Amino acid sequence: MMTPGRKITRSEIEELLPYRHPILMVDEVCSWCADEIVVKRHVDGADPNIDGHLIDGPKIMPGVLLIELVGQAAFLHGRLIGEGNSDPVVLGRCKARFIRPAMAGEYVFATVTKIGIAAGGAVHRGRVTIEGQLAAEIEIVSLRFRSRP
């Protein structure tokens, strides 16, 4: 377990999460403690997930990737506080409310808090902000993935 409160770099994140570009959503851990984690993501217009979305429209981050950001932050938080192992986690249920899009060039911050336990998993609430403005509220139930023998 790492020391709570300190920033976590991209290379440390890659050691803790089973994702890589272009699906790795967490660029940096800004802060974390036993109850919550705050992560940052730069919305890069050259990212294939952004570049291929609404090809004739504005360069925005798909809402489903904001959900993925919250899910990855929740998984990472479990690893940091010693609750999780490296077993993959899958989304069991999701409830999201989107308020504003995340545009290319912006920095997205997700504050994720564990709010409960579910059978075989956990419930987390994420508040996604951009420049201090609320962009999305997301609640997820994550479940440990166990492949069948």
The pLDDT of residue 37: 96
The pLDDT of residue 23: 93
pTM of the predicted structure, to 2 decimals: 0.92
The pLDDT of residue 5: 77
User: Could you give phi then psi for residue 21, rounded to 5 degrees?
Assistant: -55, 135
pLDDT averages per 10-residue partition of the chain, 149 residues: 79 93 94 95 92 90 96 93 74 93 97 90 95 97 71
The pLDDT of residue 26: 97
3-state class of 51 per DSSP? helix
Order across the sheet with 28-32: list the strands.
Answer: 28-32, 36-42, 107-118, 121-130, 133-144, 89-98
The pLDDT of residue 66: 98
Provide the Cα torsion 115, 118, 121, 123; round to 10°. Answer: -30
The pLDDT of residue 134: 98
- Cα–Cα distance measured from residue 24 to residue 87, given in angstroms and rounded to the nearest whole number: 16
